[in-house]
Amino acid sequence: MVHLAQIILLMGVTVAIMIAFQRLHIPSSLGYLLVGLILGPHTAGPTVYVPEFKVLAEFGVVFLLFSIGLNYSLPQLQAMRHQILGLGTAQVVLTTATVGILLWLAGLSAVAAFVIGAVFAQSSSTIIGRQLAEQGEDNTPHGRLGLAISVFQDVTAVPFLVVIPVLGAAIGLDKLAGELGWAMAKAVMAFALVFYAARWALRPLFHMVTERRSAELFTLTVLLVVLAAAWMTSNLGLSLAFGAFLAGMMLGETEFRHQVESSIRPFRDVLLGLFFVGVGMLVDPAALPRIWPWALLGTLLLLLSKIVVVVLTVRRSGMDSIASWRTALLLAVGGEFGFALLAIALDSSAIDPDIGQIALNAVLFSMIAGVLLIRFNHAIANCLARPSAASAPLKNPLTGLPAPQVLIGGYGRVGHTIAVLLKSSGVTCIAFDTDPTRVQQGLADGHPVLYGDIADPELLTAARAELAMLAIITVDDHTAALNAISALRGHCPHVPVIARARDLQTSSVLVNAGAIHAYPEAIEASLRLGTIALRMLNIPTADIDRMLQDIRDWDYQPVIENPVKKNAR
C-alpha cells in the first residue's frame, strides 16, 4: 500500500488528459506520453515512482506483439508475400539503411546509426488509422495500403528485438557476428518450439476451454499462453515480446483468433498505455534548448527519408504517382513501436542517452507533423505528383484482402443454410458461434466459421464489422439475438441487420432494437406451407405472391387470430 497514493495520482492524471485528448481528437498515444512527461523526474511537480511500473510497462509491448501476431499467421504472410510483405519489408530495410548510412557518415557509431535507422523506419498505425477514419479515407487504395504497411512494419521490427540487445553488449567486433548468429539460431529454435507446441496443444486446449462456455476461463487461458511463450523466449536469452509474437502467430491460424483478440484487448490497451507513460518519463525538457536543432534535423531526416523510400517502392508496385505520394505522406509519421525499440536500445546501452533524447524528440515531433501531413495528404500529393497523374485512375494493390460482406451470428441449421446460399452466390461472409462443435462443423463444411460471440463489441472491432454490408442474426435465443443487435447498432449503426425470430412478438422486439427485418419462424413456416397448398390447388402464382406480400407489409396481422374471438369461444 506504500505506492497507492502515487498509483491514484497516475490514474487521475491519465483519465483527465485522455478525456481532453479524445474530445480534441488527438491520438491517445500522445496523451500517455504527456502523462509521463508531467509525472516524470525531469519536470517540476509530483513524480510517480513505483518500482514495479517498468515491469508492467514492458508487458504492454508483449501484448502488442501478441496482437500483431494474431493478425499475421503463417498462411496470411504466405498470401501477402507478393504485395504487403514485399513493400513493407522493402520500406523498413531501405529506410533503416538510408538513415543508418547517413548518420554513420555524420559521425555516429555504426551501432547507434543502425538503431536510430530502425527507430525512424516505424510508422504509427494508431495515428494513421484514426486520422484516416475521421477523414473517410480508411477504405481508399492509398489508405488501405498505408495502414497495412504500417501494421506490417511491426512484424518486420521483430528481428530488431533480437538484434538490438546483442549490439548493446560490450563485446568486440570479432565476437559480434558469432553473437548475432547465436541469437538468430535461438530465435529459430523458439519458433520451432512454439510452432510444434501450438500444433500439438493449443487448439485442443482452447476446444476444451470453450466447451466450458466461460469467458473468465477463456481469458485466463489466453493470458497463460501469452505469458508462457514470453517466459520461454526470455529463458532462451531473447525478448519477452518475441515469444508473445510467436504465440499470436500460432493462435492466428485457429478459429479462436477474433475471440482471443477481443479478450486480450483491454489488457493490451492499458499496459500499452503504461508503456507510453514510461516513454514520456524519459523525455527531458531541460535538454531541449540544447538539442532542439538536432531534434528538428532528425525529424526532417525521418520524414523525408520515409517519403522518398515509400514513393519509390510503391510506385514500382504499379500504383499511380499521386496515390504513391499519398501513401508516402501517411507513412511519414513516426511510430509507437519506434519508442519500444528506443527503450530497448537505451536499456541495453546500445546508444548514448543524449543520442536517445535526440531520437526520442525527433519521433515526437514527427508524430505531431505527421498528423498534418495525413490531414492534407491529397492537397500535398497534388502539388508533388506530376500534373498528368492527378487524373489517373487509382489502382488497388490490396486485391485478395477483402473484408467480409456479410456477418452471420450463429452457425446452427439457419446459419449453415445462409452460409451455403451466400457462398453459392459468391458473397464473402464470416460466421461466429460460441459452440466449439458447431465451429468445427462449419470449418469442415468449408465455411469461415470462427469462435466468438457476435454481441461482444471487442469482437466486432477485431472482425472489422464496420466494413460489412449486412449482418444476419440466426440464433434462436431471444436474449442473445437482442444483445447482438444492440452491439451491432452501437458499433456500426450504418450496417443493416436482419434477424430470425420465433414469433411475432419476438419479431417486434428485435425490430424495435434496431433490426431492419426480423422474420417470425412459426408464421413464415405456415406461409410456406400455405403457399404450396395454394399452388397445388392451381391458384395463380402472381395472386399468391401478392397475397404474401400484403401479409408481410401488414406485419402478419391478416393471419393472426383475433384474441377477442378466441376468448369468446
The SS3 call for residue 517 is strand
Q: 283 or 157: whose pLDDT is higher? A: 283
Max alpha carbon distance in the chain (Å)?
101
pLDDT of residue 389: 41
pLDDT, mean over the chain = 80
pLDDT band at 44 (very low <50, low <70, confident <90, very high): confident
pLDDT at 298 over 90: yes
> Rounded distance, CA 216 to CA 458, Å?
15
Mean per-residue pLDDT, 121-125: 85
Helix, strand, coil percentages in the chain from 3-state DSSP, rounded to 5: 70, 5, 25
pLDDT of residue 568: 41
pLDDT at 144 over 90: no
Mean per-residue pLDDT, 202-210: 87
The predicted-structure confidence for 168-193, as pLDDT tens digits, reads as follows 665 555 566 666 677 677 778 877 87
> Rounded distance, CA 487 to CA 464, Å?
13
Instruction: Tell me which range, 108-117, 279-288, 397-406, is most confidently predicted by mean pLDDT.
Output: 108-117
Quote the cell numbers at residue 197: 507446441
The predicted-structure confidence for 368-416, as pLDDT tens digits, reads as follows 888 889 888 988 998 887 644 444 444 433 333 345 689 999 998 888 9
**pTM for the whole structure:** 0.65
Contacts of 567 (CB under 8 A, 6+ apart): none
pLDDT of residue 401: 39
Mean per-residue pLDDT, 26-30: 77
> Rounded distance, CA 375 to CA 491, Å?
24
CB 431 within 8 A of CB 415: yes
Instruction: Tell me which range, 75-89, 455-469, 476-490, is most confidently predicted by mean pLDDT.
Output: 476-490
pLDDT at 83 over 80: no
Mean per-residue pLDDT, 133-147: 73
pLDDT of residue 505: 80
pLDDT of residue 396: 37
Which domains, and CATH codes, for the chain? Answer: 4-389 (1.20.1530.20), 406-568 (3.40.50.720)
pLDDT band at 220 (very low <50, low <70, confident <90, very high): very high
pLDDT of residue 105: 93
The predicted-structure confidence for 227-238, as pLDDT tens digits, reads as follows 988 888 888 777
> Rounded distance, CA 108 to CA 33, Å?
27
> Rounded distance, CA 445 to CA 439, Å?
10
